[in-house]
Amino acid sequence: MHFKDLIYIIALHFSLSGSPWAQSLEQLNGDLKELTQKVRPAVVQILVTGYGPKLGILSSPGGLNARQHNTGSGVILDPNGYVITNAHVVEGAQRIRVMLSASQNTTRRSILNQMGRVVGAQLVRIDRETDLAVLKINAKDLPALPLADSDALQQGQLVFAFGSPLGLQNSVSMGVVSAVARQLEPESPMIYIQTDAPINPGNSGGPLIDAQGRVVGINTLIFSQSGGNEGIGFAAPSNIVRNVFNQIRDTGRVRRGDIGVSAQTITTTMAMALNLPQTWGVILSDVFPGRPAYNAGLKTGDIILSLDGKVMENGVQCLAFCDR
C-alpha cells in the first residue's frame, strides 16, 4: 500500500470515529494548505523557445531545424527578480519567458487557477557542473523563498515538490526524503537529495520545500523506466544552490577553489588492504607540488577525517568543501 493511501485511510477512520486524532489530522490539513499558500507565489513556470531537429523528417546535410517550445519550473530566491532553475531547462534557448504565479483574489470563487503574468527573462549564467542556471526578470518586490540548510536534512523528513509537471502550472506533491546525499556515479562531483515526492518532466528547476516553507533543493531529475514518476527523484541540495546562486547573482560567474589534491573515498576493502584503523574518511591519492595543499604540508597518503568541523565521509564531500 502506498504511503499516501495509508495516511488517507487513517484520516478517514479517525474522522468517522470522532477520535481526538481527527482534530490533529485536521490541524495537519490546515497547516499543509497554509504552507501551499505561502510557497506558491514564489514558484514560476519557465517558457522556453528554441530550435532543434524537426521530428519526422530524415536528417539532411542542411540540418533542418524547427522551432520548439518547452516548459520547466523555477523559484524566486531574490525579490529583485532573480530566479533559479535547471541549466538543462534553458540551455540553448533563443527566448526565455517566466510565468509568475497569479495573485490570489479571495473574492474570486472559481476553482480554476488564474493564469499568471508572463514576463521576459534574461539568462544570467549557466553552471553545468551543478545543472543550475540563474535568470533575471525586470521586476521588484517579488515574493521570494529562503534557502534552508540542506546539511540538516534527515531521512524520512516530509518534503513537497512544487512546479509545473507536464506544463500543469502550480502543482504540488508530497513525499519524504529517501536519502540525504546520493551520488549517481562513484566519486561524482555532484550529490543529490533523493525523494519519493512525485516529480515528472516539467518539474525540473522547481523547489523541493520543507515543512517550514524553505527551499531544501532544486528538483533536477528522476530515475524512471516509463518516463514518468516512479518515486525516485533527485534534487540539488540547497547549500550547493546557495553557493552557485549567490556567486552568479553577485559576480555573474561561479569560481571554484582548487587546493591541488586528488581525494578518494576510503572503503572497507581499501581500509583492510592499507591496514587503516577506520573504514571511513578520505585519503589523498595525490598532492600536486606548488599548490596550496602541498604548501600547507599535506602529503600523498594523508587521511582527512574532518574539514572545517565537518566529518569527511567521501572524496566528493572533501572536494566540495574545498570549493567553498
pLDDT in tens, 134-176: 999 999 999 999 999 999 999 999 999 999 999 898 899 999 9
pLDDT band at 263 (very low <50, low <70, confident <90, very high): confident
pLDDT of residue 59: 41
CB 217 within 8 A of CB 203: no
pLDDT band at 11 (very low <50, low <70, confident <90, very high): low
Residue 285: pLDDT over 80: yes
Q: What is the Cα 270 distance to its own chain's centre?
A: 32
Percentage of the residues of the chain whose pLDDT score is greater than 90: 51
Residue 23: pLDDT over 80: no
**Mean pLDDT, residues 25-33 taken together:** 87
- pLDDT one-digit tens code per residue, 72-85: 999 999 999 999 99
Residue 133: pLDDT over 70: yes
Please report which helix (H) or strand (E) contains residue 286, including its range.
strand 282-287
For the chain, list the domains and their CATH numbers.
Answer: 150-251 (2.40.10.10), 261-323 (2.30.42.10)
Q: What is the DSSP string of 182-233?
A: E-SSTT-S--EEEE-S---TT-TTPEEE-TTS-EEEEEEEE--SSSS--S-E
Which residue from 165, 180, 171, 174 is spatially nearest to 222, judged by alpha carbons? 165
DSSP secondary structure code for residue 147 in this structure: B
Choice among 97-106, 153-162, 188-197, 271-280 with the minimum mean pLDDT: 97-106
Catalytic residues: 88, 131, 204
pLDDT band at 187 (very low <50, low <70, confident <90, very high): low
pLDDT of residue 250: 96
Residue 53: pLDDT over 80: no
pLDDT of residue 78: 98
**Mean pLDDT, residues 181-207 taken together:** 89
